[in-house]
Amino acid sequence: MDFKAEIGKLLKKEHLPQELLQAPPNPDMGDYAFPCFTLAKEYKKSPQEIAKDLEKKLKPTKSIEKITANGPYLNFFINKTAYNKEIIQAKTARKKRNGKVITLDFSQPNIMKPFNIAHLRSTMIGNAISQILTYEGYKVIKINHLGDWGTQFGKMMYAFETWGEKTSLMKDPMHYMTDLYVRFHKEAEADPSLEERGREWFAKLEQGDKKARAYWQLFSKLSLQYYDKTYKRLHISFDSWAGEAFYEPQLKPTIELLEKKHLLEESDGALIVNLEKYNLTPCIVRKSDGSTIYATRDLAAAIYRAKTYKFDKNLYVVDVRQSLHFQQVFKTLELAGFPWAKDCIHLAFGTMRFEDGVMSTRKGIIIFLEDVLDKAVESVEKIIEEKNPHLKDKKKVAEQVGLGAIIFWDLSHDRLRDISFSWDKVIDFNGETGPYVQYAHARAASILRKTKAIKAKAAYEKLQAVQEKELLKQLSLYQEAIAKAAEQYKPSILAKYLITLCQVFNDFYEHCPCVTEPDKALAAARVKAVEKTKVVLKEGLTLLGIESPEEM
């Protein structure tokens, strides 16, 4: 039962706007309040008089037990028996498909580069958004637009030709390719001509040179095998792995389309879309050496997605530093006459920084994600060994809690904020953290195991303690938190909701015992509240891509 909607029906009879309903600052004043200030001009009365008149007109219902005027407000009191029962028994089912399709581009690692801690942001934010939107009824097409084309391949080919050795490459592919990439840029600082050698190798790749293609296939294959391990560990999957290389055959037709639309100009031998009148720098679609850049490939990708998926929204979860790039691409698509260009949205996120600065593969300033995950798991294993050495499946729980700590730490931040990577913050299991939420879930599971013997019928009307009311109030806000997270594309809204719910639940746990409560009908109602809390915590964590251990 939607109590707010029930009040809305009463207000509708008097032609009063339901959207003005609000929660009073003091629960003793009612569950919802309607401010009468906005009616004063129309009714030619004071807000206090209007509230009194409405008090007489509007009659209580089964769900709304009392309606009272309090100064300029009309306050509504919900039937607590019905309210408590409704909140606890309401199902948290995913919404039915709404027929809308969303393409969601996230993760996007660059082939030959390690999956470092900075990749965590796009990967986990994108995964959480996909699950939240799916929960809300959208059909989400998860796309991993791999960085598997571009000048970096030319650089790696030159580096491997000059310094590489295949046995070492096959032994530890990702670390070896990283070392070669770092070496190339160090050597290029002393000899800038190496940059030109790299461009030459990439031009060969675009022209179909057999040796260049063979290198590209080898480097791509080894990189994907490496990425797959991490994705499986994080329980992440994709519907499409179409990276930049996938769109290579579509680049020429894309450029021709822009030419037909009279959008292209020549500038120093390059082809550009002049966006000066829109206060944007030019969008380069072909460089002076004839090669394309990632803007060309993003244009081709957007056109392909519109034709293939017929999306309602086309979302990109990409670093905020690419904001200008997406402004250029979206404006170019708009000028090319695509009406869906307005539905392309860049979901920017803040950068991940070392305490010493921004991570850079070129400079060798990298934290491998696998090392971070391993260290988190090892830290949790030590804590478990100290606090609960007899815990079953210790390694499994350590993996769940370790990964949960890293993921929740990222997602609990507003995605637009920059994050400074610090081991102390990441591996801090106290306070507003993933393990804190996971532990609350495990505590709820423990209570339910201990109260199996309580068979009394739940007396929901007896849940009147402050802590009980607050827990029910928080549980009632769950669906709203998911809806807001979906609307704003911000998993942090759901993460923060779960933290608040845990804080309220822990207060409830301290003051409202289930096992030792002599009133079995009240105890049974409390158990039902714990049961609902456990369901919400588990489902909320799942939407964020985090597992929920039954014991910790």
- Residue ranges per structural domain of the chain: 3-78, 101-249+293-358, 369-543
Residue type, 273: V
pLDDT recorded at residue 468: 96
Answer yes or no: are the C-beta atoms of 332 and 287 closer than 8 Å.
no
pLDDT recorded at residue 430: 74
pLDDT recorded at residue 137: 97
pLDDT recorded at residue 359: 46
Reading the block at residue 22, the tokens are 């609000």
Residue 240's DSSP bridge partners are 143
3-state SS track over 215-263: HHHHHHHHHHHHHHHHHHHCCCCCCECCCHHHHHHHHHHHHHHHHHCCC
Distances (CA, A) of 169 to 87, 111, 113, 491, 544: 58, 14, 13, 38, 36
In angstroms, the CA 278 to CA 327 distance is 10
Provide the CA 277 distance to its chain's centre, in angstroms. 35
Fold of 3-78: Gyrase A; domain 2 (3.30.1360)
Provide the CA 395 distance to its chain's centre, in angstroms. 27
Per-residue pLDDT tens digits of the chain, which is 552 residues long: 567 888 988 999 888 998 889 888 887 888 899 999 989 999 999 999 999 999 999 999 888 999 999 999 999 998 888 889 999 998 887 888 899 999 999 999 989 888 887 788 999 999 999 999 999 999 999 999 999 988 889 999 999 999 999 999 999 999 899 999 999 999 999 999 999 999 999 989 988 999 999 999 999 999 999 999 999 999 999 999 999 999 999 999 999 999 999 999 999 999 999 999 999 999 999 998 888 888 999 999 999 999 999 999 999 999 999 999 999 999 999 999 999 999 999 999 998 876 555 445 555 556 788 888 998 999 999 999 999 999 999 999 999 999 999 999 999 999 999 988 776 776 676 788 999 999 999 999 999 999 999 999 999 999 999 999 999 989 989 999 999 999 999 999 999 999 999 999 999 999 999 999 999 999 999 999 999 999 999 999 999 999 999 999
Quote the DSSP letter at residue 343: G
Closest among 167, 255, 247, 237 to 206, alpha carbons compared: 247
Whole-model pTM?
0.88
In angstroms, the CA 503 to CA 199 distance is 56
Distances (CA, A) of 519 to 29, 68, 454, 525: 29, 33, 11, 10
pLDDT recorded at residue 369: 87
Q: Angle CA(448)–CA(400)–CA(236) in degrees, nearest 5?
A: 120
Reading the block at residue 2, the tokens are 């939607």
Task: Return contacts of 230-233, CB within 8 angstroms, 24+ apart.
Answer: 230/115, 230/369, 230/370, 233/373, 233/403
The β-bridge relationship of strands 32-35 and 73-78 is antiparallel
The CATH homologous superfamily of the domain defined by 369-543: Isoleucyl-tRNA Synthetase; Domain 1 (1.10.730.10)
pLDDT recorded at residue 93: 79
Answer yes or no: are the C-beta atoms of 400 and 434 closer than 8 Å.
no
pLDDT recorded at residue 63: 85
Enter the CATH code of domain 101-249+293-358: 3.40.50.620
